[in-house]
């Protein structure tokens, strides 16, 4: 096998076994500059800043899907259920064993 063929085979192997994912984003220059300025202000690279910000926003969005509000009567009923919770069952145990989406 030639050196070029070995290099290509190695490159393909690296791409198929690599665990990192690539995200490409095109943004206006002004947006990139804004991100760079903010990243520099907190001592991060652009990549670190964007990934940290996106991850935190993703967590917030997912947590927001779990928030609910109740009227006073329903809230009292909800509290009563919490105070007298049934014994854990298999489904509940399985649920608590699952990792949150941002921990995977």
Q: Where are the domains of the chain?
A: 26-103
Q: How many residues comprise the chain?
A: 104
**Residue linked to tokens 């198929």:** 16
DSSP conformational letter for 100: P
CA distances from 32 to 40, 52, 58 (A): 12, 16, 20
What is the tens place of the pLDDT at every residue in 68-89? 788 999 999 999 998 998 888 9
Alpha helices in 65-89 (DSSP H): 72-83
| pTM over the 0.75 mark | no
């Amino acid at each position: 096998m030639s050196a070029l063929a070995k290099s290509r085979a190695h490159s393909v192997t690296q791409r198929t076994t690599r665990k990192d994912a690539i995200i490409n984003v095109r943004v206006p220059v002004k947006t990139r500059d804004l991100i760079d300025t903010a990243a520099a202000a907190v001592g991060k690279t652009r990549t670190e800043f964007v990934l940290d910000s996106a991850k935190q926003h993703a967590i917030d969005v997912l947590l927001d899907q779990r928030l609910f509000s109740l009227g006073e009567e329903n809230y009292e009923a909800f509290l009563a259920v919490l105070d007298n919770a049934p014994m854990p069952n298999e489904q509940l145990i399985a649920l608590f064993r699952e990792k949150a989406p941002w921990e995977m």
